[in-house]
Structure 1
Amino acid sequence: MGMVITAAAAATAAAAATALPDDTASAPTSVVDLAGRAARGALTRARVSASSIGVLINVGVYREHNTFEPAMSALVQKEVGINLDYIADPEPAAGFSFDLMNGACGVLNAVQVGQALLDTGSTERLLITAADVHPGGDADRDTGYPYADLAGALLLERSADPHAGFGPVRHYTADRPTDVEGYLDTDTMGRNGRTTITVRREPGHAERLSAFAASAAADYAQEIGIDLDRTLVIGPSPSPSPSAAPSPSASVSPFPSASASADGAGLRGEPHTAAPVLGYLQAMDGVRRDDHDQILFVSVGAGPSAACALYRPEGW
């Protein structure tokens, strides 16, 4: 049995702000709130309860106040209400959560872990959440911070269809220094360490990451033996810079491709960790299934590192 996406959902800071009272609308965006909204959206679409989730994996990188402890997954688990008392309520699932951070490739890392957990029967349902926010809530004013306040969630289950679900996840690295990195600069942060972050992106990074993503997709297709002409490639978001190269997914041309579009989602900034979820939602909303046999997820980011995973939705 393969592991399939039962439901997916995304949440944006703009949508969250409209749901808040006027006196709290100016509060910093919370990664826990965004991830919780995306998770509840996926559960609602699948028509399943939070108590049926056995494992939650959170893969977001940037979070309010640069929080690292406690694990953000535990806070998201509480926000969603996933089996908060595993001793009193061990059924239908005890509930376990953990963080798994690997930048832009985090979602596909979680997919790989999810395959092992579902294959061994460790859980029946697994929820992946990915969310990034500016640590100080200043994404609109901090021109050096490129990423959107965005969350995504994937609900994964086993399918009785042997032809559906995820194929193997593969990871690729380039033998050169990274063009992109995010870090807390302890030499300059002063008293603002909880509300600042430094994101360094070298000139020409978009072109190099684009070429690297294309190379990873081609290597994966050759290894797995898939026809890219019949494969919808879902890659990262294009860079908003007019002088930047096309998105990594577009660089795989002439193969059919899609990306997580910031414009289409009404975002300010680029999708980061949640990009694969947003790309999947946008692709499934407009894809002509007769034109494709499968989907190929491609993520690329700091390292430089890339991850690829084949996916066949049920019914394709």
Structure 2
Amino acid sequence: MGMVITAAGTALPGTSAPRSAPTSAVDLAARAARAALARARVPASSIGVLVNVGVYREHNTFEPAMAALVQKEVGINLDYVADPEPAAGFSFDLMNGACGVLNAVQIGQALLETGSTERLLITAADVHPGGDADRDPGYPYADLAGALLLERSADPAAGFGPVRHYTEDRPTDVEGYLDTGSMGRHGRTTITVRRAPGHGARLSEFAARSVTDYAAEFGVDLDRTLVIGPFASESADEGADEDESGGEPHTAAPVLGYLRAMDGVRRDDYDRFLFVSAGAGPSAACALYRPEGW
């Protein structure tokens, strides 16, 4: 049985919150998750595992796990002792930058194949830690969330193929970190994102090589495959191709790319999708996907 995307959802910041209040990654991830569940018409209690892969979050929160906070906000089986059925509702964080969603897909394949869960939910959300009030104009990433609901399919030809990871033996062009030596009292609301000049072109070339290597390993006909790749890779140095949320999609980019592809693709033109993510490391990940019924 293949693992398929049953539904997907995205979420942008609302306009009703006070401008000084930071946008919440938990709120965005939960809204994207609820949108996916609504599209699939399944209750939150049916989710066995939730994996949260977002990197940037309000107040640079690391504890408790963001996944547990998202689980609570969505209402996924909040008392697994009293209500163990239909799913116990386990959740955890997994952070690997832009490749996080595909890492979670790889985990989902193992969990669903072994019957450890019937449904797995992936959430990805990034927000500036200080909100709009403290946002540096050079901060590159959009406040954006995405969610994928994954299930097994009876169609063996549908779903995700193997996930492959690629690295390059050179210094990373992109990194985000807390500057603990100088952050002072602003440590909860600031983040340092360093991107070397020309990184966009190099990242795009790296992603293209990863796609070529993946296609060669698995015999993929790229003429019949729609590649869902990193947003703004080719034009990030100029700051172009920004999403309407005010920056480049980061960890939620594969979800946004999938939804746009499903809205605009003609089945007669393509047989499959090929997800590719690339980011800090430098690292990249690829996974082939055939929607159910194609």
Superposition TM-score, scaled by structure 1 size: 0.90
Indicate the residue corresponding to 2:54 in structure 1: 60
Aligned to 2:217, which of 220, 223, 227?
A: 223
One-letter amino acid of the structure 1 residue matched with residue 46 of structure 2? S
Aligned to 2:246, which of 253, 268, 274?
A: 268
> Contact 1:207 / 1:245 at 8 angstroms: preserved in 2?
no
The answer to whether structure 1 residue 7 and structure 2 residue 35 are counterparts is no
Indicate the residue corresponding to 1:36 in structure 2: 30
Distance 1:140 1:126 in 2: 35
Distance 2:228 2:137 in 1: 27
292-301 vs 132-141, which moves further = 132-141
Gaps of 5+ in 2: none
CA deviation map 1:37-58 (0-9, x unaligned):
0000000000000000000000
Gaps of 5+ in 1: 247-260
The answer to whether structure 1 residue 291 and structure 2 residue 269 are counterparts is yes
137-146 vs 205-214, which moves further = 137-146
Distance 2:286 2:220 in 1: 13
Change (3 A) 1:140 1:44: farther
The answer to whether structure 1 residue 302 and structure 2 residue 280 are counterparts is yes
**Superposed, which structure 2 residues align to 1:1-316 within 5 Å?**
1-13=1-13, 16-18=14-16, 20=17, 24=18, 26-138=20-132, 141-238=135-232, 244=238, 262-263=242-243, 266-316=244-294
Report the alpha carbon displacement of residue 281 of structure 1 after superposing the two structures with TM: 0.6
> Contact 2:146 / 2:255 at 8 angstroms: preserved in 1?
yes
Question: How many equivalent residue pairs?
Answer: 294
CA deviation map 1:178-218 (0-9, x unaligned):
00000001122111111000000000000110100000000
> Contact 1:139 / 1:149 at 8 angstroms: preserved in 2?
no
CA deviation map 1:260-297 (0-9, x unaligned):
x644xx22000000000000011111111110000000
Indicate the residue corresponding to 1:257 in structure 2: none
One-letter amino acid of the structure 1 residue matched with residue 86 of structure 2? P
Distance 1:115 1:239 in 2: 28
Superposition TM-score, scaled by structure 2 size: 0.96
